[in-house]
Amino acid sequence: MWSRRTFIAEYSKSELQEQHFDSIFGQLWLILNPLLLSGVYYLLIVIIRGSSDSTRYAHLTASLFLFYLIANSLSSGVKSVTTGQKLILNTAFPRMMLPISAVVVAVTKFLPTLGVFLVIRTLIGLPVTWQMLWAIPVLLITILLALGLAIAISCINVYFRDIASFLPYLTRTLLYLSPILYEASTMIPKVRKFEVFNPLFPILDSWSRTMVHGQAPAMSSVLQALAWAIGIFLFGTYFFLSREREFAVRL
């Protein structure tokens, strides 16, 4: 797989080009889109709660941007195998390169928004600490989880083509179940117990703690996130590899 990295790089690049992200307005939109989204959700929070502060806005943007890394991996990963039909029917190559490219695209789209968040963070004057370096392992765990999810869903889509239309509801549900519009620390303990079943919960909680509050995340959260990510990644790759041989007759 590593020897084919040029293909993955080239394929994601052309995918991005196709979505016009090589033009100035395309890149501007890449930043504008999540900013507008966070603005809308912030408005929602202010209306529902009646008040809010800048730290809450920072939490919202940081979590939302990371959430969109996963959501984008899912939405471009889901159709990666079915749109690669021609290539699959004509060439023998590791099919897993297709969903992996989708995740590479999602990560490329995420990086500028990370820059935007760092600017927001500086403007608000949040503390800068060494603990923020925890963001790196948390981000790596997120990418592993995104890979697992994209690989699994691209394979499921071969058998059930309507998964792609069902997906927006799934991501929307995940968005509301995850600590994005609210903070994990403000949740009722009774409800929070159930968050063990949400793979995004420990990731987003840890991310907010490091990136927004400049604290080290709870070790239990990081380990829980890692366990989820490894579990989903192994499940996804096993499922994909056991099925990829028959993609050519299923497409």
Instruction: Give the footprint of other proteins on this chain (CB under 8 A).
Output: 3-4, 6-7, 10-11, 14, 18, 84, 86-93, 97, 159-163, 166, 245-246, 248-250
Give the nearer residue to other proteins in terms of CB position, either 99 or 179.
Answer: 99
Q: Which residue's CB is nearer to other proteins, number 97 or number 103?
A: 97
**Which of 209, 210, 212, 205 minimizes the C-alpha distance to 228?**
205
Amino acid identity, position 103 = V
| Phi and psi angles of residue 198, each rounded to the nearest 5 degrees, phi first | -100, 110
Rounded least distance, CB 35 to other proteins, Å: 28
Alpha-carbon distance of 249 to 242, in angstroms, equals: 14
Give 18 or 53: the residue with its C-beta nearer to other proteins.
18
Question: Shortest Cβ distance from residue 217 to other proteins (Å)?
Answer: 37
CB of 196 to other proteins, least distance (A): 27
What are the φ/ψ torsions at residue 114 (nearest 5 degrees)? Answer: -65, -40
CB of 18 to other proteins, least distance (A): 6
Position 166: which residue type? F
Question: Least distance (Å) from other proteins to the CB of residue 1?
Answer: 12
Nearer to other proteins, 130 or 160 (CB): 160
d(CA 156, CA 239): 9
The token pair that represents 127 in the structure block: 């503390």
CB of 171 to other proteins, least distance (A): 17
The SS3 call for residue 182 is: coil
Minimum distance, C-beta of residue 5 to other proteins, in the bound complex (Å): 10
Beta carbon nearer to other proteins, 11 or 207: 11
- Our CB check for other proteins shows the closer of 118 and 241 to be 241
In the chain, beta strands by DSSP E: none
CA distances from 155 to 74, 141, 217, 237, 246 (A): 12, 22, 34, 10, 11
20 HSE (CA, 13 A, CB side) = 5
CA distances from residue 228 to 64, 104, 135, 171, 192 in whole angstroms, order as listed: 20, 20, 17, 17, 17
CB-nearer residue toward other proteins: 97 or 211: 97
Residue whose C-alpha is closest to residue 45's, from 172, 182, 177:
182
